[in-house]
Structure 1
Amino acid sequence: MRIILLKKRDLKIFAAALVLLIGLGTLGKLYKSSAAPVSAQAGVPVPILMYHSIYEDTQSKNTFVLSPKALEQDLKYLQDNGFETVLIQDLIAYTENNVPLPEKPVVLTFDDGYLNNKTNVLPLLEKYNMCAVISVVGEFTDTFSKTEDLNPRYSHITWDDIAELEETGRIEIGSHTYNLHHDGARQGAKKKSGESAETYKSMLRRDLLALQQTLSEKSGVLPVTFAYPYGHVSEESLDVIKEVGFKASMSCYEKMNYVTHDASCLYLLGRYNRPSGVSTQDFMVKVLREAQQ
């Protein structure tokens, strides 16, 4: 849980500089000049588990909603089998600076930034001494920062909640776009049919920068990890993600990750969705088999 926190004033300066660099086309050039060569080593196996809403759902039976009891069973299984949670920031530290990872690392991720991630997930992380990545949607956070609605089923964390969560040292905040979490014609952050690459990249850049700047100003946080909404990926997005300053991105491809000292291994990381209606034993055995070989 090696999280580096910057003061809000420093983050505002950094975010402003980030916008300027991208406007000048400088950051992309800097990134290309420092790209690491492709590594031949096999890498460290790192499974990433994907969760969403965590609460007792007795009505809808949504497959993306898991009960706190089921989550606790997952955490206990991981602990009993020798797995240690790490953040995406820890994978970056390993890749860039050779900071050691535990023998059996695993990453827990929670998409969309539900309020129940704070009320139901954080206490369990504290109980089992674990950490996790919560990827937030700016539009949702902005809406619930203006209301007192605390419904555990659909409410999302506020800008203040985000600052509090990151300050615990157990939570890394990731970006899940500002206003692209819609599965319509756009399909999340995906390029639309017939849309030019230039138009697409401009749209995506504006959206991602909007969330980066708002998070730095209102929460004192600047994410280095991006999660694709709905897992929809366009190859043209990679250049933009790097330009904006993300050092890692997460897909919904269900695959094991092998982390090396090649920076490119941290883009389009695979994740295993944790559905409801499946026992901890069945899910974990299937997902972690490769990591334990």
Structure 2
Amino acid sequence: MYHCISNNDNTYLTIKPELLEKQINWLKENNFKTITVDQLVSHIENKTKIPEKSIMLIFDDNYYKSIKYNVIPLLEENGYTAILSLITSGIVEKKSNNEFSYEELIIWENKNLVDVQSHTVTSPLHPNMTEICDKELKYELKESKKILEKKLNKKILGLIWPGGSYNQKTINTAKEAGYKALFTVYETGIITNLDKIGRMQVTKETTFEDFILKIDKFYENKLFCVDTSDQILEVYKNGKKKKTYHVGVGKKIDEKTCTPIGEYTIGFKLFDPIKNQKETPYSKDKNNMFGPVYMGLFNIDGTNTSLGIHGTSDSLEYLLNKDERFISQGCIRLKNKDILKLCTNVEVGDKVIIKD
């Protein structure tokens, strides 16, 4: 995520044109491909393919000269598309020397140089969408989408929250308005949830080495995604799905037995848990219900959930062969051979997303 690209501005969100050029050249040399918001939505919703090393170059706010003179030439040279997160109140009709115009944006869109998305109507006046009234919120989201769709003759699916601020109310309002991809400013790693898309922020304090390390770190990240409806656990590495396991999840009786939806981390790994019962929530278990491995799930704030990903007792493993596997008290159960394979790829701190 970028803002201003300029040699004449020394603010925190500004970087020098030569640094941007160096970053984009590195991306090109390392076979990264840019994708648009439509491509991302289609990939998440319909499983359509995107390049293995996909990246989104997003430029926030209406820094017209920054884009025209320091970004567009780099995009043309490298065959890249940038996402422009624009405030509609700052766009004029005809070409201008100082402002974005729909006339010029259409030319850039037709050349696949830019993918314009919404940054609301007047975001400098309302930097925090969570603090304005419902009427203003609906106006900011619906009106900007309506204007961009009419002027550019395209569907606007992406909304970039001003300042990155959002809550469940703003998410619901955005989805009601027809947005599908909602971007914040926080880094979240691999994208599995279109409601909360994180971004890596590039500022004047981001060195070229920092940039490379952040990109490399993301592509080294592992993610474990549990789908409680399909009763599967998917392993992602380098942004790609590598393995799928059939799992047992919580009985859908009440909140106490359902597997809770949310984002977690692996808090600890415990081998032969029957001998280390203090670490698990069922200290009196005598039937080795956890199998050979128990991996505890922690909340993002580091607190223990008392839930885990684990194997199962020999007498209950047959339940994991059934079509419906709502069999646990909230934990995620795997066959013992599967948990032994899975645990070799899991480290403390790895991210786990549980969805319905």
Report how far residue 111 of structure 1 moved. 0.5
Report how far residue 72 of structure 1 moved. 0.9
Q: Report the 3-state secondary structure (helix = DSSP H, G, I; strand = E; otherwise coil) of the residue aligned with 2:115.
A: strand
Q: Does the CA-based 8 Å contact 2:95-2:101 persist in structure 1?
A: no
Q: In 2, distance between residues paired with 1:165 and 1:188? A: 30
Among candidates 263, 266, 269, match of residue 197 of structure 2: 269
Report how far residue 64 of structure 1 moved. 1.2
Closer, same or farther: CA 220–118 of 1 in aligned 2, 3 Å: farther
Closer, same or farther: CA 77–147 of 1 in aligned 2, 3 Å: closer
Q: In 1, distance between residues paired with 2:166 and 2:47? A: 29
Q: Report the 3-state secondary structure (helix = DSSP H, G, I; strand = E; otherwise coil) of the residue aligned with 1:177.
A: coil
Give the partner amino acid of 1:106.
I
Partner of 2:181: 248
Report how far residue 103 of structure 1 moved. 1.2
Alignment partner of 1:178 is 2:106: no
Structure with bigger strand share is 2
Q: Does the CA-based 8 Å contact 1:118-1:157 persist in structure 2?
A: no
Report how far residue 131 of structure 1 moved. 1.3
Partner of 2:169: 236
The more displaced of 109-118 and 240-249 is: 109-118
Aligned runs of 1:37-76 on 2, under 5 Å? 50-57=1-8, 60-76=9-25
Q: Which digits, 9 at most, give the CA deviation of each residue in 1:185-243, with x for residues without a partner?
A: x5432224xxxxxxx33321122222222223333243110000111213211111111
TM-score, L = length of structure 2:
0.57
Partner of 1:98: 47
Q: Does the CA-based 8 Å contact 1:163-1:221 persist in structure 2?
A: no
Unaligned ranges ≥5, structure 1: 1-49, 193-199, 260-264
Q: Which digits, 9 at most, give the CA deviation of each residue in 1:120-171, with x for residues without a partner?
A: 21110111111111011012224xx5895x3xxxx43122222222111231
Closer, same or farther: CA 226–61 of 1 in aligned 2, 3 Å: same
Q: In 1, distance between residues paired with 2:116 and 2:208? A: 26
Among candidates 154, 158, 162, match of residue 101 of structure 2: 158
Partner of 2:129: 189
Q: Report the 3-state secondary structure (helix = DSSP H, G, I; strand = E; otherwise coil) of the residue aligned with 2:203.
A: coil
Give the partner amino acid of 1:188.
N
Q: In 1, distance between residues paired with 2:176 and 2:187? A: 26
Q: In 2, distance between residues paired with 1:78 and 1:278? A: 16
Q: Report the 3-state secondary structure (helix = DSSP H, G, I; strand = E; otherwise coil) of the residue aligned with 1:211.
A: helix
Partner of 2:207: 279
Identity %: 25
Q: In 2, distance between residues paired with 1:254 and 1:237? A: 19
Q: In 2, distance between residues paired with 1:146 and 1:79? A: 33
Give the partner amino acid of 1:111.
D
Aligned runs of 1:6-17 on 2, under 5 Å? none
Partner of 1:204: 137
Q: Report the 3-state secondary structure (helix = DSSP H, G, I; strand = E; otherwise coil) of the residue aligned with 2:25.
A: helix
Q: In 2, distance between residues paired with 1:97 and 1:255? A: 21
Q: Does the CA-based 8 Å contact 2:94-2:103 persist in structure 1?
A: no
Q: Does the CA-based 8 Å contact 2:3-2:61 persist in structure 1?
A: yes
Q: Number of residue pairs matched?
A: 220
Report how far residue 276 of structure 1 moved. 1.6
Larger radius of gyration: 2
Closer, same or farther: CA 258–180 of 1 in aligned 2, 3 Å: closer
Report how far residue 108 of structure 1 moved. 0.7
Q: Which digits, 9 at most, give the CA deviation of each residue in 1:9-51, with x for residues without a partner?
A: xxxxxxxxxxxxxxxxxxxxxxxxxxxxxxxxxxxxxxxxx00
Give the partner amino acid of 2:137.
L
Q: Which digits, 9 at most, give the CA deviation of each residue in 1:165-186, with x for residues without a partner?
A: 211123111100001323xxx5
Report how far residue 268 of structure 1 moved. 1.7
Q: Does the CA-based 8 Å contact 1:77-1:280 persist in structure 2?
A: no
Give the partner amino acid of 2:129.
A
Partner of 1:290: 218
